[in-house]
Amino acid sequence: MTGSFAIKSIPTSPIDGQKTGTSGLRKKVSVFQQPNYLHNWVQSLFSSLDGLPGSTIALGGDGRYWNKDAIRIICRLAAANGLARVKVGHNGILCTPAISSVIRAHDLYGGIILTASHNPGGPTNDFGIKYNVANGGPAPETVTSAIFKNTATISEYNYAVVPDADHAADPFAAVDLSVKGETTFSNVDGPSFVIEVIDSADDYVTLLQSMFDFAKLKALFARPDFSFLFDAMNGVTGPYGHRIFVDLLGGKPECVMRGEPLEDFGGAHPDPNLTYAAELVAKCDPKQNPQAPDMGAASDGDGDRNMVLGKGFFVTPSDSVALIAAKAKEAIPYFKNGLKGVARSMPTAGALDRVAAELGIELHEVPTGWKYFGNLMDAERAQICGEESFGTGSDHVREKDGIFAVLCWLAIVAHESAGKDALVSIEDIVINHWKKYGRNFFSRYDYEEVETKGANAMMAHIDELQANMNAARGSPDEPMALDPDFSTKVALADNFSYVDPIDGSEATGQGRRFVFTDGSRVIFRLSGTGSSGATIRLYAERYEPDENGQLVNAQAALKPFIELALKVSKLEAFTGRREPTVIT
């Protein structure tokens, strides 16, 4: 089919609050639906990019409510800004790691992802948009601040319209996103424009197949003593999960639960953690379900996060990335030549550090946000990266990748169990890892939608506390007391900052941390991804080298540190919150 369009310049004026956070712009659907809201942001994006005319970008989303409407608007802006082609995911769907793989596989200019990740969807919930650059990763600060600057001064946007007198209707309205293939439109004002509806999974699945030994994974699925359950949480990964775990690996169709992508995620909060994936957690608990699978896994709304469970056993994301790094060379063909380096975000527990030390490779500690791993991966200084926030990934794409992490764990179980009469359980694999490296107990307390004023006041109070502690110190090595009743002293009290070793860019104010003399840590941060109010995150970590002390519950192991953190921060007094919203 072909059609034609004309370019019209439509007057607009700046709209407040279009600053892009850690992972793009996330707001309520009703905010996005305001006249010109999406148009302003996308035009500001296009205006900030050099060499855009004639280029191709990828476009797709997690299928949440308003996804398809937004795609049509963006195509109209793309055509009118001189782009040659937009590769749109089938039905508007492309999971976040898949869009990264499409950008990389076809050397595209970049891509636009329509997602609010794990935030609830539907008409009264969240929508989001984010831009990824040519390496397939989230736009760096230089790009996001240029976009924001443009949103403050925008006065018009370029829009594709039908080339007739009234110029009103959408010239692309007839493009059916459920039909794969190309539609070319001639432009009465210049070069033509193509909308290409692509398969949402082809490039991504081909990439994953090149990284893992699918025959070996298939043999694991065929074992009578192995069962597997994947919870797609009604997010975008359902169809990908079916294709990989069922069609390619031979799992039963029931091994994918909540596998149908829904615009409102079935009313669920599509975040794979112990709180929001409680149904999966219960199904994987042999006390509640005699048929509990040997491995459970979940991914979030847009498919970049993951949670991995054994039978009644939770693998913390900090342990998960450490274990994947430890086993990578032997269990995962993609890493058969070994690793040069690994990286984790600052609040992520240090289990990975111990693996890096053992392997004799570089370990990088970056601020929270997947974008900070991009330069390290491009420079081949880190191949496996992970965050405590249920993010795990590698340099095969420039986003974290939920299904990749699940395949890594399947590969580890397959490898450990190969040739053995009985399956080696995930629990045993992790416990053996702790025996060798020690265990880093970790927990995070989230206080969501706290009043911004109280949250900021608490952070100011912590700054003052840290300043006083540092000022009272006799020498830079002298341990500092955080509380007279707490015997373990503090070796470091600061607000984390990071200088990117590749481009020298600096990120400051990335989290107040108290590092104790025994290596334990307590960290306070404000989330950069919330859509209303402030979210306070309190992270606690303690290292236990002695295997006799490793098998206790993490909450019990961390209790003294968490109580101390709550006391010295005066969190309850500042926020009125007695209990966290979520504990992971």
Stretch that binds ligand G6P, among 34-42, 128-136, 139-147, 526-534 (CB under 6 A): 526-534
List beta partners, residue 256: 230
Stretch that binds Zn ion, among 97-105, 112-120, 473-481, 538-546 (CB under 5 A): 112-120
- 183-220 CB burial, b ≥16 within 10 A, e <16: bebebeeeeebbbbbbebbbbbbebbeebbbbeebebb
**Contacts of 299 by beta carbon, 8 Å cutoff, 6+ apart:** 230, 231, 232, 233, 235, 237, 241, 272, 305, 306, 402, 403, 406
Residue count at the site for ligand G6P (CB under 6 A)?
A: 14
Stretch that binds ligand G6P, among 128-136, 162-170, 525-533, 548-556 (CB under 6 A): 525-533
Residue 23: is it exposed, middle or buried by C-beta count within 10 angstroms (0-12/13-18/19+)? Answer: buried
Q: Which of 302, 399, 500, 544 binds Zn ion (CB under 5 A)?
A: 302
Task: For ligand G6P, give the closer residue by CB, 293 or 391.
Answer: 391
Q: Which of the residues 254 through 283 are near ligand G6P (CB under 6 A)? A: none
AA letter at 384: I
Q: Do residues 543 and 318 touch, judged by C-beta distance below 8 A? A: no
Instruction: Work out the angle between the directed axes of helices 402-417 and 202-211 (0-180°, nearest 10).
Output: 30
Rounded Cα distance, 202 and 310, in Å:
30
Rounded Cα distance, 12 and 358, in Å:
58
Instruction: Quote the least distance from Cβ 531 to Zn ion, whole Å.
Output: 14
Stretch that binds Zn ion, among 31-39, 298-306, 358-366, 513-521 (CB under 5 A): 298-306
Instruction: Quote the least distance from Cβ 119 to ligand G6P, whole Å.
Output: 10
Stretch that binds ligand G6P, among 75-83, 323-331, 362-370, 570-578 (CB under 6 A): 362-370
Instruction: Quote the least distance from Cβ 467 to Zn ion, whole Å.
Output: 36
Instruction: Quote the least distance from Cβ 145 to ligand G6P, whole Å.
Output: 17
Instruction: Quote the least distance from Cβ 376 to Zn ion, whole Å.
Output: 20
- Concatenating the DSSP letter of every residue in 210-221 gives HHS-HHHHHHHH
Q: Do residues 89 and 200 touch, judged by C-beta distance below 8 A? A: yes
Residues recorded for the chain: 584
**Contacts of 566 by beta carbon, 8 Å cutoff, 6+ apart:** 538, 572
Q: Which of 126, 203, 304, 544 binds Zn ion (CB under 5 A)?
A: 304
Stretch that binds Zn ion, among 11-19, 32-40, 63-71, 296-304 (CB under 5 A): 296-304
Asked whether position 119 contacts ligand G6P by CB under 6 A, the answer is no
Task: For ligand G6P, give the closer residue by CB, 231 or 446.
Answer: 446
Instruction: Quote the least distance from Cβ 204 to ligand G6P, whole Å.
Output: 18
Active-site option among 44, 47, 100, 117: 117
Max CA pair span of the chain: 80
**Which one of Zn ion, ligand G6P, none interacts with residue 302, CB within 5 to 8 A by kind?**
Zn ion
Instruction: Quote the least distance from Cβ 390 to ligand G6P, whole Å.
Output: 8
Rounded Cα distance, 147 and 130, in Å:
11
**Which one of Zn ion, ligand G6P, none interacts with residue 577, CB within 5 to 8 A by kind?**
none
Asked whether position 23 contacts ligand G6P by CB under 6 A, the answer is yes
**Which one of ligand G6P, Zn ion, none interacts with residue 23, CB within 5 to 8 A by kind?**
ligand G6P
The beta strands (E) that lie in 352-467 are given as 362-366, 384-387, 391-394, 439-450
Asked whether position 387 contacts Zn ion by CB under 5 A, the answer is no
- Residue 117 catalytic? yes
Residue count at the site for Zn ion (CB under 5 A)?
A: 5
**Token duo for residue 433:** 């890892």
Q: What angle do CA 540, 324, 275 make, to 5 degrees?
A: 45
**Which one of Zn ion, ligand G6P, none interacts with residue 271, CB within 5 to 8 A by kind?**
none
Q: Which of 354, 537, 542, 577 binds ligand G6P (CB under 6 A)?
A: 537
Question: For the CA atoms of the chain, what is the radius of gyration?
Answer: 24
- Kindly state the DSSP code that residue 139 receives in the 8-state scheme: P
Q: Tell me whether strands 306-310 and 295-299 are parallel, antiparallel or unpaired.
A: antiparallel
Task: For ligand G6P, give the closer residue by CB, 175 or 534.
Answer: 534
Stretch that binds Zn ion, among 65-73, 123-131, 301-309, 353-361 (CB under 5 A): 301-309
Asked whether position 62 contacts Zn ion by CB under 5 A, the answer is no
Rounded Cα distance, 444 and 297, in Å:
20
Closest CA to 394 of 306, 330, 334, 309: 334
Q: Which of the residues 115 through 144 are near Zn ion (CB under 5 A)? A: 117
Instruction: Quote the least distance from Cβ 372 to ligand G6P, whole Å.
Output: 8
Residue 499: is it exposed, middle or buried by C-beta count within 10 angstroms (0-12/13-18/19+)? Answer: exposed
Q: Tell me whether strands 25-28 and 490-495 are parallel, antiparallel or unpaired.
A: unpaired
**Token duo for residue 163:** 């080339």
Rounded Cα distance, 251 and 529, in Å:
35
Instruction: Quote the least distance from Cβ 336 to ligand G6P, whole Å.
Output: 28
Q: Which of the residues 363 through 422 are near ligand G6P (CB under 6 A)? A: 368-370, 387, 389, 391
Rounded Cα distance, 64 and 518, in Å:
45
Task: For ligand G6P, give the closer residue by CB, 242 or 537.
Answer: 537
Task: For Zn ion, give the closer residue by CB, 268 or 562.
Answer: 268
Task: For Zn ion, give the closer residue by CB, 20 or 150.
Answer: 20
Asked whether position 529 contacts ligand G6P by CB under 6 A, the answer is yes
Instruction: Quote the least distance from Cβ 395 to ligand G6P, whole Å.
Output: 16
Rounded Cα distance, 5 and 173, in Å:
11
**Which one of ligand G6P, Zn ion, none interacts with residue 364, CB within 5 to 8 A by kind?**
none
Rounded Cα distance, 556 and 467, in Å:
30
Task: Point out which residues bind ligand G6P (CB under 6 A).
Answer: 22-23, 117, 345, 368-370, 387, 389, 391, 527-529, 537
Residue positions annotated with a catalytic role: 117
Task: Point out which residues bind Zn ion (CB under 5 A).
Answer: 117, 300, 302, 304-305
